[in-house]
Chain A
Amino acid sequence: MAIEVRVPTILRSYTGGAKIVEGAGDTLAELIDDLDAKFNGLKGRLITPEGGLHRFVNIYVNDEDVRFLGALDAKVKDGDSITVLPAVAGGALGFAAAAALLGGL
């Protein structure tokens, strides 16, 4: 058994087009290192140079946001399902980005 990771469309160029990949580790950080060894460059899209989760990336362990579970220190285990998604405003998506720009005008 391994940890299943769902990859958003935009990051599938790193996984050879795979939608679901498998990895291992005891924490999210270890899991991401493990994935980066197989899919070079993936880590750089999820984690900032300062070592934190990218502001516009949301990662969920079994549907729960890792930022409330210890972020990169969040515990993961075999059988867990991890989902990576771009951060968007619920209900409005790209639209909110438009609103943000408009609001700043």
Chain B
Amino acid sequence: MARYESLLDACGGTPLVGLPRLSPVVPEGAPPVRLWAKLEDRNPTGSIKDRAALFMVREAEESGHLRPGDTILEPTSGNTGIALAMVAKLRGYRLVCVMPENVSTERTQMLRMYGAEIIFSPAAGGSNQAVATAKQIAAEHPDWKMLFQYGNTANARAHYETTGPELLHDLPTITHFVAGLGTTGTLMGTGRFLREKVDGIQIVAAEPRYGELVYGLRNIDEGYVPELYDASVLTRRFSVGTRDAVLRTRQLVEVEGLFAGFSSGAILHAALAVAHEAVKAGKRADVAFVICDGGWKYLSTGAYGGTLNDAEEALEGQLWA
């Protein structure tokens, strides 16, 4: 279908494209091992987060948590904020985003363009300061509504009801699904759906491993695991460093013409790992993975050009996924 009543109705239904040049070569006579990319950058605001934003707002409206004219407060490092800003604009809400100050300038520019207000939390202050900032804002504005993507079941449900069925429809032979692990919504929702429908499917998580500056002196006793996370949905979980994520992001555009953000490169890295294992084992594999967003918002990092060392340095201390 190519005609929609409004932009909100155009959310999802993204293309799944084969990557014949990046798929590993199998020995003659061996079963095929193929990589497939789900182009979530084709969503209305250019990222997979449109799905969650739309479902979270709709559910809040239906439950009465959100009423016309309300202010939504959301801590976000970028894409969810941009998606929510668009949905909020079209549905008649004000959006205030609280975000760490070390995100790319394109993201803050886009948020403001969509009409969101931004409150920065100091990057250097670490989690303690972020907690303090958020607590203070909540205390000052008890009427502001939080959708809280890390614990909102509508976030995972968006993927259970849309991303999962789309993948199964387009690739009934799917053997692996690989996505990024942030709020965990994509993997929990899509993973649960596919586990119900496809025997033996592997659900593989790729999480970003940032530079040391980002983790800083984070206290282990103050860690955080999103409420949505259920480890039993996953088969495996990979940690992907900045260098590997940049390398794969560059390969995506150089080899397949696919211009994506660095989180997609991290996901491809994990997808290639399971694909190569399948080749070694002589097993057929259709590995579908998520392109979370396009590379536009990250161009200012400078990490698309120069050597890998330069790129790693450019992204040190940044939240690149």
Contacts and interface: CB of A to CB of B under 8 A. Distances in A.
Interface string A5-19: 000111100000000
A51 interface: no
Nearest to A69: B236
Contacts of B149: 99
Interface residues of A, number: 37
A58 B210 CA distance: 14
- A64, A99, A103, most chain B CB atoms within 10 A: A99
Contacts of B236: 64-65, 68
Contact of B237 (A55, A64, A105): A64
A2 B114 CA distance: 53
Contacts of B231: 67-68
Nearest to B126: A94
Q: Is the interface of B mostly helix, strand, loop or mixed?
A: mixed
Contact of A98 (B75, B226, B239, B240): B75
A56 B209 contact: no
B208 A91 contact: yes
Interface in B187-239: 205, 207-210, 212, 214-227, 231, 234-239
B76 A92 contact: yes
Counting chain B residues whose Cβ lies within 8 A of the other chain, the interface size class is 35 or more
Contacts, number: 170
Contacts of B181: 90
Contact of B218 (A55, A65, A91, A94): A94
A94 B131 contact: yes
A88 B224 contact: yes
Given A56-B225, A92-B77, 10 more contacts: A9-B217, A10-B215, A56-B222, A65-B239, A85-B209, A91-B77, A92-B183, A92-B319, A95-B121, A98-B75
17 contacts: A10-B219, A55-B223, A56-B223, A57-B223, A60-B239, A64-B239, A68-B231, A89-B150, A91-B78, A91-B263, A92-B75, A93-B100, A94-B127, A95-B121, A96-B224, A103-B148, A105-B138
Interface of A: 8-11, 45, 54-58, 60, 63-65, 67-68, 83, 85-103, 105
